Amino acid sequence: MDSIIVVEDEQQILELMVDILEMYGYKVKAFPSADSAWNYIDTSSSELRLLITDLRMPGDIDGVGLVQRVHEKFPKMPIVVASGYHRESDSLHIDQVFWLSKPFTLDELHMACQQLAPLK
Protein backbone atom coordinates (compact mmCIF):
# COMPACT_ATOMS: atom_id res chain seq x y z
CA MET A 1 0.00 0.00 0.00
CA ASP A 2 1.32 3.39 -0.98
CA SER A 3 0.11 5.35 2.05
CA ILE A 4 0.37 8.71 3.67
CA ILE A 5 0.83 8.43 7.44
CA VAL A 6 -1.01 11.12 9.43
CA VAL A 7 -0.21 11.55 13.13
CA GLU A 8 -2.29 13.95 15.21
CA ASP A 9 -3.45 13.66 18.82
CA GLU A 10 -6.48 15.93 18.37
CA GLN A 11 -9.13 13.51 17.10
CA GLN A 12 -11.24 16.04 15.18
CA ILE A 13 -8.21 17.42 13.33
CA LEU A 14 -7.01 13.88 12.57
CA GLU A 15 -10.40 12.87 11.15
CA LEU A 16 -10.65 16.04 9.08
CA MET A 17 -7.17 15.58 7.60
CA VAL A 18 -7.90 11.94 6.75
CA ASP A 19 -11.26 12.81 5.16
CA ILE A 20 -9.72 15.56 3.02
CA LEU A 21 -6.75 13.48 1.87
CA GLU A 22 -8.96 10.51 1.03
CA MET A 23 -11.31 12.84 -0.86
CA TYR A 24 -8.33 13.82 -3.03
CA GLY A 25 -7.55 10.15 -3.71
CA TYR A 26 -4.79 9.39 -1.20
CA LYS A 27 -4.57 6.21 0.85
CA VAL A 28 -4.17 7.27 4.46
CA LYS A 29 -3.19 5.52 7.69
CA ALA A 30 -4.12 7.61 10.74
CA PHE A 31 -2.59 7.45 14.22
CA PRO A 32 -3.39 9.40 17.40
CA SER A 33 0.17 9.22 18.75
CA ALA A 34 3.76 9.10 17.59
CA ASP A 35 4.17 5.84 19.51
CA SER A 36 1.42 4.04 17.57
CA ALA A 37 2.60 5.50 14.27
CA TRP A 38 6.20 4.42 14.90
CA ASN A 39 5.09 0.88 15.84
CA TYR A 40 3.29 0.64 12.50
CA ILE A 41 6.07 2.25 10.45
CA ASP A 42 8.84 0.20 12.07
CA THR A 43 7.10 -3.12 11.43
CA SER A 44 5.31 -2.35 8.16
CA SER A 45 6.33 -3.89 4.89
CA SER A 46 4.11 -1.39 3.08
CA GLU A 47 5.55 1.39 0.97
CA LEU A 48 5.11 4.74 2.67
CA ARG A 49 5.07 7.90 0.57
CA LEU A 50 4.73 10.72 3.13
CA LEU A 51 4.59 11.36 6.86
CA ILE A 52 2.45 14.20 8.22
CA THR A 53 2.87 14.71 11.95
CA ASP A 54 2.22 17.13 14.76
CA LEU A 55 5.15 17.86 17.09
CA ARG A 56 3.67 17.91 20.56
CA MET A 57 1.92 14.70 21.49
CA PRO A 58 1.65 12.57 24.61
CA GLY A 59 3.51 9.28 24.80
CA ASP A 60 7.03 7.96 24.97
CA ILE A 61 8.04 9.74 21.78
CA ASP A 62 6.77 13.03 20.41
CA GLY A 63 6.68 14.32 16.86
CA VAL A 64 10.35 15.32 16.92
CA GLY A 65 11.36 11.80 17.93
CA LEU A 66 9.08 10.33 15.29
CA VAL A 67 10.54 12.54 12.55
CA GLN A 68 14.07 11.58 13.58
CA ARG A 69 13.29 7.85 13.63
CA VAL A 70 11.46 7.92 10.31
CA HIS A 71 14.25 9.92 8.68
CA GLU A 72 16.84 7.44 9.97
CA LYS A 73 14.90 4.45 8.60
CA PHE A 74 13.66 6.12 5.37
CA PRO A 75 16.07 9.01 4.64
CA LYS A 76 14.38 9.94 1.35
CA MET A 77 10.78 9.94 2.60
CA PRO A 78 9.34 13.47 2.71
CA ILE A 79 7.91 14.66 6.02
CA VAL A 80 5.37 17.38 6.76
CA VAL A 81 5.42 18.80 10.27
CA ALA A 82 2.02 20.38 10.92
CA SER A 83 2.42 22.29 14.15
CA GLY A 84 2.08 25.62 15.86
CA TYR A 85 5.24 24.87 17.86
CA HIS A 86 8.35 25.70 15.91
CA ARG A 87 10.65 25.99 18.92
CA GLU A 88 11.40 22.30 18.52
CA SER A 89 12.51 22.92 14.94
CA ASP A 90 16.06 23.58 16.16
CA SER A 91 16.38 19.86 16.80
CA LEU A 92 15.19 18.94 13.29
CA HIS A 93 17.97 19.54 10.80
CA ILE A 94 16.51 17.39 8.04
CA ASP A 95 16.21 18.59 4.45
CA GLN A 96 13.08 16.57 3.71
CA VAL A 97 11.00 18.33 6.40
CA PHE A 98 8.30 20.69 5.12
CA TRP A 99 6.71 22.96 7.74
CA LEU A 100 2.96 23.52 7.72
CA SER A 101 2.21 26.07 10.42
CA LYS A 102 -1.01 25.65 12.41
CA PRO A 103 -3.54 26.85 11.79
CA PHE A 104 -3.28 25.84 8.14
CA THR A 105 -5.93 25.68 5.47
CA LEU A 106 -7.10 22.50 3.82
CA ASP A 107 -5.79 23.89 0.53
CA GLU A 108 -2.32 24.28 2.10
CA LEU A 109 -2.45 20.66 3.27
CA HIS A 110 -3.50 19.48 -0.19
CA MET A 111 -0.80 21.55 -1.93
CA ALA A 112 1.89 20.14 0.37
CA CYS A 113 0.76 16.61 -0.45
CA GLN A 114 0.64 17.35 -4.19
CA GLN A 115 4.16 18.75 -4.05
CA LEU A 116 5.72 16.04 -1.88
CA ALA A 117 3.64 12.97 -2.78
CA PRO A 118 1.90 13.55 -6.10
CA LEU A 119 -0.73 11.02 -7.05
CA LYS A 120 0.34 8.70 -9.82
Q: What is the CA radius of gyration of the chain?
A: 13
Angle at 68 between CA 39 and CA 61, to 5 degrees: 50
Q: Would you tell me how many other CB atoms lie within 10 Å of the CB of residue 86?
A: 13
Q: What is the CATH number of domain 3-116?
A: 3.40.50.2300
Average pLDDT over residues 63-85: 88
Q: How far is CA 21 from CA 1, 32, 36, 42, 92, in A?
A: 15, 16, 20, 23, 25
pLDDT at residue 95, as a whole number: 66
pLDDT at residue 78, as a whole number: 92
Reported as a single tens digit per residue, the pLDDT across 91-110 is: 556 666 888 888 889 899 99
pTM of the entire predicted model: 0.89
